[in-house]
Amino acid sequence: MVEEQARPLATPITDQKPIRPTKTRCCTTRFLVCSLTTIILLIITIIILVLTVFKVKDPIMTLNKISLNLKTNKANGQVLQLGSNISMIADVSVENPNQATFRFSNTTSSIYYKGIMVGEAHGPSGQARPRHTMRMNVTVDIITERIIMAPNLSSDIGSGLFSMDTYTRVPGRVKLLLIIKKNVVVEMNCTVNFNITSQEIQDQSCKRHVDLNL
């Protein structure tokens, strides 16, 4: 009797379940996704605020009024004399349209007559509150020695209309959200026709320039 060839026994098949991530791993993944989403939304919100609500806007400077202390001496036929005290007070306002305070210092005001600088003054530092307008008076002492050398001075004063050019410079800074700092320089050039009798501005033409730097 032929002996039957031995056959290996078949390996028993066992049910293998797939390895699933633990509960801790799922919570960690969700936390990372939520954190990343929150950071992205926060960055987008800050960018939108910086470009809209907290965007640094140009301060607006306006020349409101001028008072000129100009006394003529008609007794000896001279309009002005050397050593005469002449002063001009300029009422200037600075409007701050930003959501933060505009702090400024070293303000400078200059007066020109017939292209000659006849007076200059430096104003004190100050600040314009958010979305408010600040007014300040700048007193400029006129240099008599310079103004009497200008042509047509007698005829201008005799007509009661005094034409001059003014230049005002206000440097400052605006700080937003404790991280956004902008250096701001506001400049204004005006040509003014001033009525000596009524002490009012007859007409004026002003050009403003604002420089924003980080």
Residue 110 has a pLDDT of 93
pLDDT, one tens digit per residue, over 26-44 is 778 877 888 888 888 887 7
Residues 6+ apart with CB under 8 A from 50: 176, 177, 180
Of 203, 202, 126, 210, give the one whose Cα is nearest residue 168: 210
**What single-letter amino acid sits at 143?**
I
Residue 171 in contact with residue 103, Cβ under 8 Å?
no
Please give the structure tokens belonging to residue 185: 């320089």
Segment 121-133 mean pLDDT: 87
Residue 189 has a pLDDT of 94
Q: Which CATH class is domain 60-213?
A: mainly beta
pLDDT band at residue 9, thresholds of 50, 70 and 90?
A: low
Residue 75 has a pLDDT of 43
